[in-house]
């Protein structure tokens, strides 16, 4: 479904991604794990089309998307839920959700999607009229993911959804990612520092270190890998 082929990405003279390749099959939940500064957000921004690779290419289905503007990539069904949530704080929960469906004109479809987001996140339904800026951290994270779902994505990319959440909510966010993948059938690319949880729920995981993919394999195998255990799990 998505194929990232040997991309190099730089900010000015500073190269951040080196010869990065990964693939995601339809229906998979794939995790990219790595420490602060490894290049995870840079990778998602490049897939989204916000950054252009200097070398290499990105393909979605049969189409090369690495040369096209980000709005095209959104229209193709790749939705990026950014780090730090980036909600509209002065707008209500419901209005924020509506913003996620800005490409859709069909009111019934939009209402149907709001309904399914509320089914998945009953907490948001209770707070439909509340201003997003006054939600708790965990609720804001749910809203950010919910807003991503409003676009009816083919591929949903989540940038560190567990960041800054209390341990109990961290578990919930990973459960949600799994639910979105398994119950809604959405292909998910999850970028995370929480190696244990990400590997547990992912079909496959890629380890990104200093801008390079150093390991890849089934999530369950990654958890048994000596390097992963030493470097990321403190075992």
Ligand X SMILES: Nc1ncnc2c1ncn2[C@@H]1O[C@H](COP(=O)(O)OP(=O)(O)OP(=O)(O)O)[C@@H](O)[C@H]1O
Contacting positions for ligand X (CB under 6 A): 11, 14, 16, 34, 36-42, 83, 193
Least separation, in Å, of the C-beta of 80 and Mg ion?
Answer: 12
Q: What does the chain look like in DSSP terms, one character per residue? A: -EEEEEEEEEETTEEEEEEEEEEE-TT-EEEEE--TTSSHHHHHHHHHTSS--SEEEEEETTEE-TTS-HHHHHHTTEEEE-TT----TTSBHHHHHHHHTTT---HHHHHHHHHHHHHH-HHHHHTTTSBGGGS-HHHHHHHHHHHHHTT--SEEEEE-TTTT--HHHHHHHHHHHHHHHHTS--EEEEEES-HHHHHHH-SEEEEEETTEEEEEEEHHHHHH-HHHHHHHS--
Least separation, in Å, of the C-beta of 82 and ligand X?
Answer: 10
Least separation, in Å, of the C-beta of 17 and ligand X?
Answer: 8
Closest listed residue to residue 95, CA positions, set 121, 122, 123, 114: 114
Q: Which window, 80-88, 92-100, 136-144, 193-201, contacts Mg ion (CB under 5 A)?
A: 80-88
Q: Which one, 16 or 97, has the nearer CB to Mg ion?
A: 16
Q: Which one, 152 or 192, has the nearer CB to Mg ion?
A: 192
162 binds Mg ion (CB under 5 A): no
Q: Which one, 9 or 223, has the nearer CB to ligand X?
A: 9
Q: Which one, 37 or 122, has the nearer CB to ligand X?
A: 37
Residue nearest to Mg ion (CB): 41
Q: With CB cut-offs between 5 and 8 Å by kind, which of Mg ion, ligand X, none does residue 216 bind?
A: none
Least separation, in Å, of the C-beta of 17 and Mg ion?
Answer: 13
Select from 24, 41, 47, 48 the one that contacts Mg ion (CB under 5 A): 41
- Please tell me the distance from the alpha carbon of residue 59 to that of residue 77, in angstroms, as a whole number: 13
Instruction: Report the chain's C-alpha Rg in angstroms.
Output: 17
Q: With CB cut-offs between 5 and 8 Å by kind, which of Mg ion, ligand X, none does residue 42 bind?
A: ligand X
Q: Which one, 139 or 159, has the nearer CB to Mg ion?
A: 159
Adjacent-strand bridge partners of 212: 209
Least separation, in Å, of the C-beta of 51 and ligand X?
Answer: 9
Q: Which one, 49 or 124, has the nearer CB to Mg ion?
A: 49
Q: Which residues are at the interface with Mg ion (CB under 5 A)?
A: 40-41, 83
């Amino acid at each position: 479904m998505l194929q990232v082929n040997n991309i190099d990405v730089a900010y000015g003279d500073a190269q951040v991604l080196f010869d990065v390749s990964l693939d995601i099959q339809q229906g998979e939940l794939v995790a990219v794990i790595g420490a602060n500064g490894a290049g995870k957000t840079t990778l998602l921004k490049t897939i989204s089309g916000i950054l252009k690779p200097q070398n290499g290419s990105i393909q979605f289905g049969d189409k090369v998307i690495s040369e096209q503007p980000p709005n095209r990539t959104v229209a193709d069904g790749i939705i990026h839920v950014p780090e730090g949530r980036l909600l509209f704080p002065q707008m209500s929960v419901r209005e924020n959700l509506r913003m996620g469906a800005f490409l859709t004109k069909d009111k019934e479809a939009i209402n149907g999607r709001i309904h399914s987001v509320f089914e998945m996140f009953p907490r948001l339904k209770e707070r439909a009229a509340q201003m997003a800026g006054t939600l708790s951290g965990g609720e804001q994270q749910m809203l950010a993911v919910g807003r991503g779902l409003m676009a009816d994505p083919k591929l949903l990319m989540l940038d560190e959804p567990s960041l800054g959440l209390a341990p109990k909510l961290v578990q919930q966010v990973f459960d949600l990612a799994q639910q979105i993948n398994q119950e809604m059938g959405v292909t998910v690319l999850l970028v995370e520092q929480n190696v244990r949880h990400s590997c547990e729920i992912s079909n496959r995981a890629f380890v990104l270190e200093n801008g390079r993919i150093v390991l890849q394999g089934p999530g369950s195998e990654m958890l048994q890998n000596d390097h992963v255990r030493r470097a990321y799990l403190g075992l």
